[in-house]
Chains A and B, each alone.
Chain A
């Protein structure tokens, strides 16, 4: 085997299918004015392979080293991204030496972020600044630098894992939906090539070497030609018209569309962009910027590219309700815009594979109006903001390094650079000198303060029995849950959902951050059958036990939404006795958890069983009226500060 130390990557020209994605990547490589590509789609569709292959096409650096490909790991720290104090050099040279981070390493190459939607926010914002400006301004740890950081930003995401924050979405020039090849012949070809490549990369590469070289040359020519490509003014007008029609916000869409069209022209060797160039790139530019037509459309185009295709058939105008000015994920908005259609119509709105045959008399209710989230949201935020630091920071060695602090007690987790900095001024005084090393005294030690991603856990325990089907109760309940889910989304809290009906209780949604999934699940929640309330409480017990053991510091709230008429028992006893016993034991075992019972009982004769349940749980109790928005605010106000105080 040769000693060639550079790893062979899958060649760009050997990629089968994915024309749009390949074109977008090429365009982004022709000029940085296109501002990168977001690849959105299922897992295992070759997103990373394409990004890596693109880097191999780029011209080498001045130093003759190949253009860098930097893969940003999910566990990146701000230090790694921006730069840090180089310990070794600092100790040797006796002066602080700064090592630039990944953003600078990616200069003139590709910065690839897999699962960009899962990246922590503080990393995202640091990244955005550099991506936009093409250089990195460093002002930290006493260093002040400005370094070039021009890279092609390529992100990939699986929209099922949650949406990308809108400001980040907009920063990507082009957005592509990647999906697996549907033609069996092509698909077979993909596997064949992959297997050949894995077996013998060198031979495989040799087969495509000519094509790769051609592509490299074409790219180089296009890069050279790009600055000269002219965009006729009638086409500028067309661009303005297109972006206006798409209701794209700001001028970024116009600028990127113009650049992309010119890059496309350069790629085909033309000196003037034409209509075809615009047609070829328009969808890539507008896909993630298109917004719904509506008078007060949300100023947050939160939709993920994938959603857009579904939304090309907008709901009928007569069905539309006036839009409220609220921040919320797109999927929720679309629920509201498709109100009051019955359950037979429901399946047609979903992709066919998601249709699940409903048993017997089960019904699926629409989500009722998601009411007045805003006041609730504001209140919660208000309460949370004040104490959020206390809520999530800890001195344990879990989580991410936030800052260096003076240690309390024995130092376990030294913050090296801060420690050195603290010791630095005293070096001469302490007699340090060449050959004597760096002198660190105990009082110099600094410890890392870490912040674990704890947040809040909200567990929804929803009664989906037949009695909930009566009237519009389930719709209203769903609306209420949705409102709470929304505030959870905005605070990056976790949610979990247990439903109970028929004979069993199921954990339909294990604790997750993806509120979008919770919403989808909630929408499709069928109702019918008896009320196995005891089973639900037993399951709740198990879940709470698990969560509190694993993350004892995490605040947990349980929302129990039921009429309390449990009629299926786990053992021999009467259902109601069992419920009471279980509830008492829950409240006894988990004093740190706040329970809330929302009574959904309606009608003339009230059995008030939910009230009894609330008593046994030592829970706060609310009646159906509380499901209305203004009351939810009150609920939130009463519950949340209490948790914060802990």
Chain B
């Protein structure tokens, strides 16, 4: 049975968060989104509803790690073996949103050895974990600031290397694990570790919507959805479809977008002035601007794209005293 998902286009307001997510779908190398905000502002709903508008990707058929048949440098051991025997069978499926619950154990995240099978048959069989499922998709961590430190370490390792290394007793296994990390957090419950914060490409702050009319609309839509999800979804199907094809279009032209030299210079200069750590910020601003230009169907990066990119990618990178709250 398919779980009913609230349609993305039916979500009222929260444009910044929606945009940040869309830009990440267009260019996953932007590096994910951190969504900061109070409870009940639709953070989770939006992330889950993203599933509807996600594009399809080509995967190696039957591969538990969703290897990309077009990038032979990044295959799991099994697919590497299969490739030697001949071309890899292909299949198409939608990009996935994978949940990482706070209560997840280390084994479930990185994957584990099937001990029963190993003892019975003497075969080493690797049971893939959450990181395997999230490869080339979106890894969603609700309340990421409450995640246990040793689990954060796992995430950091995978996010930094794009590979999940499983080195535990009796097993040594690695497979590609590149994912768009989407995390939500309520800053009242504690801040994020700086290394993890830095791994997020974009950061948005969400608030409850103040406009009474819009609030009423939210309630109405929610009620309509709960009453008859199917009918409700049909109403927005067309709009969802439109958005999905716009994303697909943007993905196609992304690599052709021109980045003028002076834009690079301008960004570099600005970030030096702001005192942003390292070079990761520069790259994120440019990539976000590029994705935004693609989303708008433009051929070159404009002022507007840069402005949007800076708003989304700088708030959590501005130099601040340790543990000072992220400035907005």
Contact = CB atoms under 8 A, between A and B. Distances in A.
Nearest to B73: A7
Interface string A403-440: 00000000000111100000000000000000001101
Interface string A499-511: 0000000011111
Given A414-B115, A438-B122, A114 B105 contact: no
Interface string B26-65: 0001000000000000000000000000000000000000
A8 B321 contact: no
Contacts of B73: 4-8
Contacts of B106: 75, 397-398
B72 A5 contact: yes
Given A42-B277, A48-B160, A190-B282, A79 B169 contact: yes
A399 B322 CA distance: 27
Contact of B198 (A6, A7, A43, A184): A43
A517 B148 contact: no
Contacts of B323: 508-510, 512, 517, 521
A44 B190 contact: no
Interface residues of A, number: 83
A355 to B, nearest CB: 10
B4 interface: no
Interface in A85-103: 85-88, 91-92, 99, 101-102
Most buried by A among B105, B123, B171, B188: B171
Contacts of B105: 397-398
Given A160-B322, A453-B150, A75 B157 contact: yes
A398 B74 contact: no
Q: Is the interface of A mostly helix, strand, loop or mixed?
A: mixed
Interface string A339-383: 000000000000001101000000000000000000000000000
Given A7-B73, A99-B172, A437-B120, A416 B29 contact: no
B93 to A, nearest CB: 21
A589 B115 CA distance: 43
Interface string B132-151: 00000000000000101110
A115 to B, nearest CB: 7
Nearest to B75: A5
Contacts of B280: 43-44
B278 interface: yes
A200 to B, nearest CB: 9
Nearest to A497: B323
Interface stretch (A191-199, A238-246, A250-258): A191-199
A188 B150 contact: no
B119 A440 contact: yes
B80 interface: yes
A160 B197 CA distance: 14
A182 interface: yes
B124 A88 contact: yes
A46 interface: yes
A180 B264 contact: no
Interface string A73-87: 111110110001111
B165 A73 contact: yes
Query: Which among A75, A181, A356 has the highest number of chain B CB atoms within 10 Å?
Result: A75
Interface string B270-296: 011001111111110011000000000
A517 B322 contact: yes
B130 to A, nearest CB: 14
B206 to A, nearest CB: 21
Given A73-B165, A88-B124, A187 B268 contact: yes
A375 B291 CA distance: 60
Contacts of A399: 150
A101 B167 contact: yes
B245 to A, nearest CB: 24
A124 interface: no
B255 interface: yes
Contacts of B286: 191, 195
A604 interface: no
A3 B72 contact: yes
A465 interface: no
Contacts of A511: 190
Contacts of B121: 437
Interface string B211-241: 0000000000000000000000000000000
A251 B290 CA distance: 54
B282 to A, nearest CB: 5
Interface string A147-170: 000000000001011000000000
B136 to A, nearest CB: 16
A470 B322 CA distance: 28
Interface in A510-546: 510-512, 514, 517, 520-521, 524, 542, 546
A43 B115 contact: no
B171 A188 contact: no
Contact of B156 (A74, A84, A88, A92): A74
B322 A74 contact: no
B267 A356 contact: no
Nearest to B189: A546
Closest 7 CB pairs of A and B: A44-B278, A44-B280, A80-B167, A187-B268, A188-B264, A91-B122, A87-B170
Given A80-B167, A517-B323, 12 more contacts: A3-B72, A5-B80, A43-B194, A75-B110, A101-B167, A187-B282, A191-B264, A192-B264, A194-B283, A453-B150, A546-B190, A550-B146
21 contacts: A43-B195, A45-B279, A74-B157, A75-B110, A77-B167, A79-B168, A85-B169, A88-B124, A91-B118, A180-B276, A180-B277, A185-B268, A190-B279, A192-B259, A192-B264, A199-B255, A353-B275, A354-B321, A438-B119, A453-B149, A550-B146
Interface of B: 29, 70-75, 80, 83, 105-107, 110, 113, 115, 118-124, 146, 148-150, 153-154, 156-157, 160-161, 165, 167-172, 188-191, 194-195, 198, 255, 259, 261, 264-265, 267-269, 271-272, 275-283, 286-287, 319, 321-323
